[in-house]
Structure 1
Amino acid sequence: MQLKHLRTLLSPQDGAAKVTCMAWSQNNAKFAVCTVDRVVLLNDEHGERRDKFSTKPADMKYGRKSYMVKGMAFSPDSTKIAIGQTDNIIYVYKIGEDWGDKKVICNKFIQTSAVTCLQWPAEYIIVFGLAEGKPLLISCSGKGILSGHADGTIVRYLFDDEGSGESQPAGMEKDLSDKLL
């Protein structure tokens, strides 16, 4: 496999201007980048910036610089984006199908600690990790996730077998982590 540099999406800036997270839409038409200034830049499939919006703190009394965005994921239909933040909240923004559609918060999910990572694998499922070490999900109509932990273990969680008869074998956590480490 050969990889090649296609283009630079953000021009270099003086000082710290790091990217905190990125996400491709499931339809591959949108690419989101969130920078240290908590602004989400939306690019098209060719890397051209087409839109942007500012994220919001969980509580304005702490100010706009009181949090960082740590995880982003597009919905399966690519019309929404979930944003996980260090101020213990996940916002879901409706971004629309077309460029320039109004960006509005349509859901808020308050958490017990900072969100560290986030995925949106199916229509009504958002899976995320918290700083306190808990892998969680919003909704329970999916099958399962793998969760990585600081001690090096990887754990498989099945949410619901949905009548398939699948079960989580006893000791699966150990078997899986031994094979992947």
Structure 2
Amino acid sequence: MLAMQYRFTLPADYDMAIIRQRIQQRGHLLDGFPQLEWKAYLWSERDGQHQGAVNAYAPLYLWQDNDGINQFLASPGFAAVCADFGRPQVDIWSVWACLGSQTMPAATVCYEQTQAIAPGTSLAALRQQEQQQATKLHQQGALCVLSAYDPQQWRILRMSAWDAEQDCLRQTSHHTSYQIGYVATKR
């Protein structure tokens, strides 16, 4: 499995109702897309409630394989995103753990963290540690937990999705907090 994400940071005075409306009108169009496990339509708003929040649109995808990514990036839907916001850098991550994919559509908020993988780090040990952390978060109530790594830039992606905000995660500068507008699924 592969995770994929791109992010558009929008101006501080951008009307985020435009993003919420876009998600509401177009989110369902990816339901049943070939090779897609889920797409979480993530957005954040500079509102003073969330530490470090900026206006952003940052969808996160979980793909069964590379064929789905290729189909999507060549699709009219992605062309429309590029026409509206510009062509983004697309990050692709190899998935180490994903727990709770079937409950992802019930999530309303997610927390993401990226972290550099230090030179000399044992990937086998790090993978085991990430899988244990994913299990722990899932047992603590996260609806979906994703752990993945990017061997091109040597980074880890950690994402946990919840049915409500988690104060312990929201208050830290280590996590980026997003609202989830919709989750498209393979159906």
For the criterion TM > 0.5, the same-fold answer is: no
Structure index of larger Rg: 1
Normalising to structure 2: TM-score of the pair? 0.29
Whose strand proportion is higher, 1 or 2?
Answer: 1
Normalising to structure 1: TM-score of the pair? 0.30
Q: Which has the higher contact order (CA 8 A, sep 6+)?
A: 2
Whose helix proportion is higher, 1 or 2?
Answer: 2
